[in-house]
Structure 1
Amino acid sequence: MNMELSRRGFLKLAGTGVAATSLGAMGFGEAEAAEIAHVRPFKLTTTTETRNTCPYCSVACGIIMYSKGDLRKGETADIVHIEGDADHPTNRGTLCPKGAALKDFVKSPTRLQYPMHRKPGSDKFERISWEDAFDRIARLMKDDRDANFVATNAAGVPVNRWTTVGLLAASATTNETAWATFKFAKALGMVGFDNQARV
């Protein structure tokens, strides 16, 4: 039997053989090839995308949270996936190990979701409303500031300092929010002002 094969025909035949052998070596048979041909829908197509900022360090990486359920329709939103935001200029879609584990952070059974208060002498925390928590914080701050505010130093120079209270701010925020937070702390005379990124 005489078979003539051009160089181009030989390369086509060799390429087909290599592709078939590679698929076989990777474990793809006829059934898997049929499944590959059928495109399944993406798992995130029915979810709601929400862009946010990672709450950990001060780098402020962008994240995308995917949730099922629409809060605008009164449904409960359940976060099913969190990933880095490829369009964010800070991280361009990458996340550190802590950021990559954000879903576990959000779904943690020990995550604090509402204000808790432990009364003096009690051995347990009790849930209180946000209004009660804000009122209590404001009252305690006002009482402490009235009792410990230093208007002038020993030489009579105005210093306007409140040294018995400090403020720990969030680093995962916008420049505008950080500026407003700083102005709030300094307007009250707080000397101790720091950021979570240094903790």
Structure 2
Amino acid sequence: MNIDLSRRGFLKLAGAGVAATSLGAMGFGGAEAAEQAHVRAFKLASTTETRNTCPYCSVACGIIIYSDGDLKAGEEAKVVHIEGDADHPTNRGTLCPKGAALKDFVNAETRLTTPRIRRPGAASFEEISWEEALDKIARALKDDRDANMVLTNDDGVPVNRWTTTGYLAASATTNETAWLTYKVVRSMGIVGFDNQARV
């Protein structure tokens, strides 16, 4: 059988073949259409969505945490996915490499989730409750403030300075929380006050 095909005819035939395979690859073929008719469920459909702030730097990017339990209700939950919050005005859904790796940070076995204390003479740390930890911190602050508060300077002018304790604030917070933190720390007389973003 002899096929008489010119060069122009060959190019037309090759072009038609490329077009047909391209359309099939894009899902216009019968087999692909039948395959696309069954859509699998979204993998995060059964998870609980919680909005939060990335804890790393001072940018305070918004994140969305997906967990297999309800974090807001205090349930034990495993974080299965973290992504940037597209509705957040700071990062608009983007995350830096540290923020993108938050899932591993949150689920790390070495991450501390309860307060610990090493008592005098002890060789190791022991877990304590949040109530006990906060009580110990409050007691240490009160004792230090009572012992070291400077009420007046050498000329008798009221200064109300507390210079033996410092406060390091976190930057992953809202403006309102930052303002309240500043007011509380300054009202106690603490002079050494800085932010984690500058460290």
Q: Relative to 1, partners in 2 of residues 1:52 and 1:160: Cα closer, same or farther, differing over 3 Å?
A: same
1:16 is matched with which residue?
Answer: 19
Deviations 1:80-100 (A, max 9, x none): 000001111110100001100
Which residue is 1:185 aligned to? Answer: 185
Same amino acid, percent of matched pairs: 69
Q: Distance in 1 between matches of 2:64 and 2:44?
A: 12
Matching of residues 20-169 of structure 1 within 5 Å: 23=25, 35-36=35-36, 38-70=38-70, 75-169=75-169
Contact 2:64 2:82 in 1 (8 A): yes
Tell me, in whole angstroms, the C-alpha distance in 2 between the residues paired with 1:125 and 1:99.
Answer: 29
CA distance in 2, matches of 1:162, 1:73: 39
What's the TM-score, normalizing by structure 1? 0.83
CA distance in 2, matches of 1:96, 1:166: 30
What is the Cα-based RMSD across aligned positions, in Å?
A: 2.9
Distance 2:116 2:73 in 1: 29
Q: Does the CA-based 8 Å contact 1:51-1:62 persist in structure 2?
A: yes
- Structure 1 residues 129 and 148, CA gap change in structure 2 (3 angstroms): same
- Give the match's secondary structure for 2:56: coil
User: Residue type matched to 1:153 in 2?
Assistant: N
Contact 1:50 1:64 in 2 (8 A): yes
Asked if the contact 1:56/1:197 (under 8 Å) is kept, the reply is no
1:72 Cα deviation from its structure 2 partner: 7.1
What's the TM-score, normalizing by structure 2? Answer: 0.83
Deviation at 1:122, TM superposition (A): 1.3
Amino acid at match of 1:17: A
Q: How many residues align?
A: 186
**1:73 Cα deviation after fit:** 7.4
Asked if structure 1 preserves the Cα contact closer than 8 Å seen for 2:86 and 2:93, the reply is yes
Determine the structure 2 residue equivalent to 1:173: 173
- Which amino acid in the other structure matches residue 177 of structure 1? T
